[in-house]
Each structure stands twice: as structure tokens, then as C-alpha cells.
Amino acid sequence: MSTYFITGATGTIGKEVVNSLLSKNEHVIAGTRDPQKLQDFYKDSVTGTYFDYGAKESYQEVLNTDGIFLLGPPLNPGLYELLEPFVDYLQDNYKGRLIYLSGNGMENLEELPFHKKMEEKLKNSSLNWNIVRPGFFMQNFGNYDRENIQDRNIIFSPAGEGKSSFVSSKDVGSAIAELLIDPNRVKETHVLTGTKAYTHFDVAAMLSDILRREITYPNPDENTYKQVLKESGAPDFIADYMIPVYGMIKQGKVDNVTTAIKDLTGKEPESLEEVLKRDFQ
């Protein structure tokens, strides 16, 4: 049995990495700013430890592990600066493998360069890195759009008419676990997607079938999106962050489909319909 240190273990992807490692009988140390949350998630099946990128005294638990999963929290344009001290610490002290969660297309997104900068830092380091670049998570609709879908019968993102090769967080977690446990895989970059790209009109049609009522995609322009978020009380930085992110879909930059999930896990990726049914039925 090997031991892996998982950051973001209370979140969408980290949770799937942990579950996948536990199903392989591996030992997991899960880092969190709130150990009580871990108890609620995993009972006693993982070793929980206090961990905060902003608190250097919380880094030591990682050292005697075979691999680390490194995830930065979403909606933080300062993500590179948040993670940098931890990566510097690892560079000086760590011999295991490291898997970094980036994002499909983010390596070219000038407005939000944090994933690109972190990828470059890792590639120039002496660490045993692997990088995964997942597409948009299928679970975003359940996690972030649920209120719009359930209460207003819309999905509301400035994604235009472009297609996106959505991926299931479960498959991303399984692929990361495979990379963590395989000592022969280092210095690889994998773009993780589902098997097909969809527009937001396609997603609205799929949700309409699942929910048996009409869900529409009004295809808001950026100003309308910003205005609506403002009126709903969201701080401006959310629209400033999400507009370039959805712009990647609008501009056709994230419709690429890869076989990386099947190549790494040996299993076909989940379909968007399967995930939406699980999340909305």
C-alpha cells in the first residue's frame, strides 16, 4: 500500500481522486482547512490533516508520501501566487510524484494565466510532475447552474454557440488516481475529455428530456451576463473570471476530443446524459 496526499479533497475533483484511490486500497492523507468536513465526507477511511496553501507550517505532512495531487481552488485569479510557496517547498524537499490539475485551453488563456504559469513552473522544476487538463466538468450544471435550471428553466452562461468537450469529474478522478499510482508515468500532459463536444443548446435540450419540461439556453452576450450577475448580488470578479473562461467555448477553443480517459483508466468515459440524469433525476 502506498500513501498519497490529496489537496482539494473536499471538492468536486479531489473527492473523486480520493474515492478512486480508496477503491484501490491505497492510503490517503487528505488536506483541508476544515478537518470536520473530512469526517462528514469520509468517516475514518482517510487520514485527515489541516492544510492551507497560505500556512507553511501545514506543509510537512506531505513529505513521507509517494504522490501528491495538487489542485487550486476555482474563481481565484491569484491561484498561481497562492500555490507557488507550496511548490517551492516541494522543489526543495519532495521526491514523490506530483499531479497538477490544470484545464483544457487554459494554457492559452491570456486573461487568466495562472494554470499556464504553474504548468511552466513545474516543467522547469526537478519535480516528478504530470499535468492533467480536463475539459469543462459535466457536474458544473449540478454544482453551479442548479438554481437557474430548477427555478428559472434556463442555463445561463456566455458560451455562445460554441461546443465544449465536457468531462465527468468521476473520470477525471479515476485518471488522476491511475497517474498517481504508476511510478513509470512522469512528465506527461493529458487533456481529459468526454467522447463528444456539445453546445449549450444541446445541453438545454438534454435537460429538457431529462426533466420533462422545457429548459432553454438564452445565449446571453457578455454585457447581459455581467448585468444579470450584478443584479443577483454577485461580486464583479465572478463575471470578470467567467467571461474569458466561457469565451473559450464561444471561440471554439475547447471542442477537442481525446481518448486520454480510456487510455489511462481502461474504461469508456461517462456520457453527458448519464451525468445529467444522475444529477437531475
Binding footprint of ligand NAP on the chain (CB under 6 A)? 7-14, 32-34, 37, 51-54, 71-74, 101, 103, 134, 136-137, 140
Minimal distance, residue 49 CB to ligand NAP, in Å? 11
- Closer of 51 and 128 to ligand NAP (Cβ): 51
- Closer of 127 and 249 to ligand NAP (Cβ): 249
DSSP conformational letter for 45: S
- At 207, list the grid cell: 435537460
- Closer of 77 and 183 to ligand NAP (Cβ): 77
- At 271, list the grid cell: 456520457
Minimal distance, residue 214 CB to ligand NAP, in Å? 25
d(CA 188, CA 56): 28
DSSP conformational letter for 5: E
Minimal distance, residue 190 CB to ligand NAP, in Å? 13
| DSSP reduced 3-state for 240 | helix
Q: Angle between the 35-42 and 12-23 helix axes, to the nearest 10 degrees?
A: 50
Cα-Cα-Cα-Cα dihedral sign, residues 7, 10, 14, 15: positive
Minimal distance, residue 216 CB to ligand NAP, in Å? 22
- Closer of 52 and 279 to ligand NAP (Cβ): 52
- Closer of 103 and 160 to ligand NAP (Cβ): 103
- Closer of 71 and 207 to ligand NAP (Cβ): 71
- At 148, list the grid cell: 437557474
Minimal distance, residue 134 CB to ligand NAP, in Å? 5
Burial 35-69 (b: 16+ CB within 10 A, else e): eeebeebbeeebebbebbbeeeebbeebeebbbbb
Enumerate residues 6+ apart whose C-beta is below 8 A from 273. 206, 210
For the stretch 55-60, contacts whose Cβ atoms lie closer than 8 Å and that sit 24 or more positions apart, written own/partner, are 56/85, 56/89, 58/31, 59/86, 59/89
- Closer of 17 and 204 to ligand NAP (Cβ): 17
Minimal distance, residue 127 CB to ligand NAP, in Å? 18
Amino acid at 167: V
Minimal distance, residue 251 CB to ligand NAP, in Å? 16
Q: Which residue is nearest to ligand NAP (CB)?
A: 11
